[in-house]
Chains A and B, each alone.
Chain A
Amino acid sequence: MIRFVARRLMWTIPTLFIITFLVFIAIRIGTDPVQSYLRLNPRATPAKILQYKQTNGLTGNIVSQYFSWLHHFVTFNWGRSIKGSRPVWPELKAAMANTIVLGTLATSVGLFFGLAIGIFSAMRPRSLFDQTSTTSAFVGISVPPYVSAILLQLFFAITLTRWLGLSKPLLPTSGIYPPGHKGFDLILRIKYLILPITVVAIQIIAVYSRYMRASLLEVKNSDYLRTARAKGVSERRILVRHALRNALIPIVTVAAIDIGGIIGGLIITERIFENKGMGDFFLTAYTNGDFPQLMPWMVFVVLGVILANLLADVLYAVLDPRIRLD
Chain B
Amino acid sequence: MNDAQTVLEIRDLRVTFPTESGAVQAVRGVDVTVRAGEMLGVVGESGSGKSVTFLAAMGLLPKSAKIEGSVKVHGHELVGMNNSEMRKQRGKRISMIFQDPLSALNPTHKIGHQVSEMIRSHNDVSKAAAWDRSVELLDIVGIPQPRTRASQYPHEFSGGMRQRVMIAIAIANDPDVLIADEPTTALDVTVQAQILDVIQDIQHKFHASVVFITHDLGVVARIADRVQVMYAGRSVERGDVDSIFRNPTHPYTRGLLASLPALGRERLTPIPGAPPNMLRPPSGCAFRPRCPYAEEICAGEIPELHPLLGLETACVRAEELLPEGVA
Contacts and interface: CB of A to CB of B under 8 A. Distances in A.
Interface of A: 222-224, 226-235, 237, 241-242, 245-246, 249, 319-322
Given A232-B122, A233-B121, A227 B105 contact: yes
B108 A228 contact: no
A246 B108 contact: yes
Contacts of B60: 226, 229-230
Interface string B95-108: 11010100111111
Interface stretch (B22-30, B67-75, B84-92, B310-318): B84-92
B56 interface: no
A237 B105 CA distance: 16
Chain B interface bracket (under 10, 10 to 19, 20 to 34, 35 or more) = 20 to 34
Nearest to A319: B108
Contact of B107 (A229, A232, A322): A322
Contacts of B108: 245-246, 249, 319-321
A322 B152 CA distance: 11
Nearest to A243: B106
8 contacts: A227-B106, A230-B96, A231-B91, A232-B89, A232-B92, A233-B121, A235-B83, A246-B106
B118 interface: yes
Contacts of B104: 223-224, 226-227
A126 to B, nearest CB: 11
A233 B118 CA distance: 7
B155 interface: yes
Given A249-B108, A321-B153, A322-B153, A234 B98 contact: no
B106 A242 contact: yes
Interface string B102-136: 01111111000000011001100000000000000
A222 B104 CA distance: 8
A246 B98 CA distance: 20
A227 B98 contact: yes
Contacts of A222: 103
B180 interface: no
A242 to B, nearest CB: 6
B107 A246 contact: yes
A229 B83 CA distance: 11
Contact of B90 (A231, A246, A249): A231
Given A246-B108, A320-B108, A321-B108, A231 B169 contact: yes
Given A321-B153, A322-B153, A224 B92 contact: no
Contacts of A235: 83, 87
Contact of B58 (A230, A234, A246): A230
Contacts of A246: 106-108
Interface string B161-177: 00000100100000000
A228 B106 CA distance: 9
Given A230-B60, A231-B169, A234-B87, A320 B121 contact: no
A224 B103 contact: yes
B105 A230 contact: no
